[in-house]
Chain A
Amino acid sequence: MSFWRWLFRTPRPARADLALTLRLTRLRRLNRCYREFLGFFVDGAEKQGGGFILDRQYIVSLAERAFRLGYEIIFHANVLRPGVALESYAALDRFKVAIRDLLAAKGRRADDRPNIEAAENEASLAECARDRAGSAERASPSAASTPGREVSPSQLGEACRHRIKLIENRGVVACPGVASGRIALVGSEADLHGFPEHGVLVAPRLLPTPALMRTLPRVAAMLVEEAAPADRIAAFARAFRIPTLLGVSGAARRLPPGELVTVDATDAVVYSGCFEELILHHHLHGGSQGEEPEYRLLNGVLEELGSPLLVMAPPGAAPEDRQTLCETVHGVHTTTLHQLAADLLLTREGMALPSPAFAEGIRGVYLSTPTQGVEGEAEGVSGTADPSAWVLAGLVPAGDEGKTTPAATDARGVLYRSEECVTALLGAGERVVLLDAVVAGGAEGNHVMVWGSEGSQGSRETGLDRMHAEAVRLGLVAVRATRTVAAWRERIPAGSVRETLTRLGQLARQTTLETKAARWAAG
């Protein structure tokens, strides 16, 4: 059912609801722009990997698109909440001048590397990268020791065709290049200790920890199963110039530890054995891939624009305290959503919500469609069941049923109807962690429960998918929400939706209470 059909099907809305409807239309536009804005960074991160042939025109259009979206987001925000982000126009103008200078090759940082130092120890990273440069020379002794030796294209083509390929066309390039070494599986941080010199690191996932940084100088190439170009591990790979492929599904299963392989990250192929001709060819012709002027300019522009992964400014920061376009736009989006959510939620379903709590930010939201039940789990006189009731049942402390309205007091849950709204709230970032649940799928959208928490604490306490919670915290979920939602719905076994949701309600209540207790303890 479309939003409009739903609107006319439900009892005649009050005047406030009509106003709400108009606002939601604009909110949808705002959110669409923000999703596109986040998508643009994902696109930029993918290109940064060095696997593309791009020109200056692409970089110029990338920056233009980012600013166009930025201005559009501010415009929509100001329509939704007049005056909420007027000062941000000036901030964007300021960033635009800086980017224009950079594109005109006047910017002093055009030749810099990506600013991953902002989050890491600068000196240690630089030292590690120097070590790595030295070890890279040692890693290909045959190539280094045979200056001037050339492989003809026909020889190379023939060799590429006949060599055994263990992995082909899997994953995305995080850093191009060719390197050979023995497979070393890294399943946990403990595996990093004693990592072999010039080993090929294969891991289901990798976190950018200090232990990994210390290990990277010894790594010849990396294959990571669960990672995306926007992840920090990609920036690390580029900083250390390690040929790296991300999203290589099944790498740990297919590649036995200790086997000698050659990773061609440029073409996303892993060959069996040491492929000397390819290493030599790469050494002679492809050594500086990803370091061309176009890539240096792209890195400089993206650094200046900022990244959703490196939003440092707190939610309430003033526009002048936001250092990048990304921080400014993120701040405008977050502030607008928080304020808007407070307005919207207070007028919803006649639920008396404590406005001071919402003024602080979103604490708890779940989406439901009371008019639609869950197929196969019907109950009651009408033959359908309201999934929100099950969540509410979990939110009410045992023995308190009927005494209190949980949404209004303890758990502060709120009914919400539109998937766009929930996605928007997820995009708000810092205060929202997604619980592993989808209530049900209606024709007009999925039913999702989200729960406000600070950082990723909530996900740890409730045993949920930490990586995804982290993505939500970083505001990236807006890009991935649709796919994620569809995947989760499939994971709730038929016939156990009620039980799952009630349990979620309990978990949500517990999380809130624990957060409160922690705050109280912190004084």
Chain B
Amino acid sequence: MAHSLEVLVLDDEPIVGKRLKPALEKDGYVVEVFEDGRSALARLQEKEFDIVVTDVRMDEVDGIQVLEAVQRMSTRIKVIIITGYATVELAREALAKGAFDFIAKPFKPLDLRAVIEKAARELLVNQTHG
């Protein structure tokens, strides 16, 4: 990997960021964690991340809104949705709106790391061909 990929993790449950940050750092990713949608969106305006991992149900700004905002900023960024309220409808909506993948809670950090690795490979391919 030429440079460390930057990952933004957004979930209002503190355990998610607390667990994902060290787990993803073991793979060499640089991780920033947010617990509210507004701060995350503000940070996304300042800096372009490679991958965004977001929960769906949150106060004020929900994950689908974050997905839409990210898509408006750049279609290059891979958005991975995580949720404790997984339904087929929600998964379909998220994927139709451009989400890279969809993971239901509870999950193991390894499961997410595999999805992020896939996203990283796709980013690399796009970079090479783009």
Please tell me if the beta carbons of A53 and B106 are within 8 angstroms of each other in the complex. yes
> Least Cβ distance of A164 to chain B in Å?
16
- Contact between chains at B109 and A266 (CB < 8 Å): yes
Decide: B4 and A160 in contact? CB cutoff 8 A: no
Using a CB-CB cutoff of 8 Å, which residues 37-82 of chain A contact chain B? 47, 51-58
Looking at the complex, which one of B13, B28, B29 makes contact with A56 (CB distance below 8 Å)? B13
| Contact mask for chain A residues 272-306; partner B; CB cutoff 8 A; 1 contact, 0 none | 00000010011001100100111100000000000
Report yes or no: B105 in contact with A58, Cβ–Cβ below 8 A. yes
Let me know if B27 and A53 touch, CB within 8 A. no
Q: How far is the CA of A267 from the CA of B19 in the complex (A)?
A: 12
Digit string of A162-205 for contact with B (CB within 8 Å is 1, else 0)? 00000001000000000000000000000000000000000000
What is the minimal beta-carbon distance from A378 to any residue of chain B, in angstroms?
A: 51
User: Once A and B bind, how many residue pairs between them come within 8 Å at the CB atom?
Assistant: 85
Assuming A53-B108, A267-B110, is B22 touching A281 (CB within 8 A)? yes
Evaluate contact between B105 and A53: CB separation under 8 angstroms.
yes
Question: Are B4 and A154 in touch, CB under 8 angstroms?
Answer: yes
Contact with B along A208-245 (1 / 0, CB 8 A): 00000000000000000000000000000000000000
Which chain B residues in 1-60 approach chain A with CB under 8 Å? Answer: 4, 13-16, 18-31
A380 close to chain B: CB less than 8 A: no
The residue among A51, A157, A282, A292 with the most chain B CB atoms within 10 A of its own CB is A157
Q: How far is the CB of A377 from chain B (nearest CB, A)?
A: 47
Q: Among B4, B21, B23, B26, which residue has the most Cβ atoms of chain A within 10 A?
A: B26
A158 interface residue, CB < 8 Å from B?
A: yes
Cβ A55 vs Cβ B105 within 8 A = yes
Whose C-beta in chain B lies nearest to the C-beta of A288? B18
Q: Are A285 and B15 in contact (CB under 8 A)?
A: no
Given contacts A53-B105, A55-B84, A58-B105, contact A294 B15 (CB under 8 A): yes
Cβ of A188 to closest chain B Cβ, rounded Å: 33
On whether the beta carbons of B26 and A53 are closer than 8 Å, the reply is no
Report chain A residues within 8 Å CB of B85: 57
* Residue A359 lies at the interface, judged by CB distance under 8 Å to chain B: no
Q: Are B22 and A53 in contact (CB under 8 A)?
A: no
Which residues of chain A are near B28, meaning CB under 8 Å? 153-154, 156-158, 160-161
> Is A157 touching B107 in the complex (CB atoms < 8 A)?
no
A295 to chain B, nearest CB (A): 8
Q: A52 vs B110: C-alpha distance in the bound complex, in angstroms?
A: 9
Q: Are B13 and A153 in contact (CB under 8 A)?
A: no
Given contacts A58-B84, A266-B109, contact A157 B16 (CB under 8 A): no
What 1/0 flags go to A134-156 for Cβ under 8 Å of B? Answer: 00000000000000000001101
Contact with A along B86-117 (1 / 0, CB 8 A): 00000000000000000001111110100000
Inter-subunit contact A52/B26 (CB<8 Å): no
A158-B29 Cα distance, complex, nearest whole Å? 11
| Least CB distance, B83 to chain A, in whole angstroms | 9
A297 → chain B closest CB, angstroms: 11
Residue of B nearest to A173 (CB): B108
By Cβ-Cβ distance, the 10 closest A-B pairs, closest first, are A157-B28, A54-B106, A57-B84, A285-B22, A153-B25, A52-B106, A292-B15, A286-B22, A55-B84, A55-B13
Name B's A-contacting residues (CB within 8 A).
Answer: 4, 13-16, 18-31, 84-85, 105-110, 112
Q: Which chain A residues have a beta carbon within 8 Å of chain B's beta carbons? A: 47, 51-58, 153-154, 156-158, 160-161, 169, 266-268, 278, 281-282, 285-286, 289, 292-295
Interface contacts beyond A54-B84, A292-B14: sample of 4 additional A-B pairs, CB < 8 Å, sorted by A: A52-B108, A55-B16, A154-B28, A160-B26
Sample 14 A-B pairs with CB under 8 A, ordered by A number. A53-B108, A53-B112, A54-B105, A55-B13, A56-B84, A57-B85, A57-B105, A58-B84, A157-B4, A157-B27, A267-B26, A281-B25, A285-B21, A289-B19
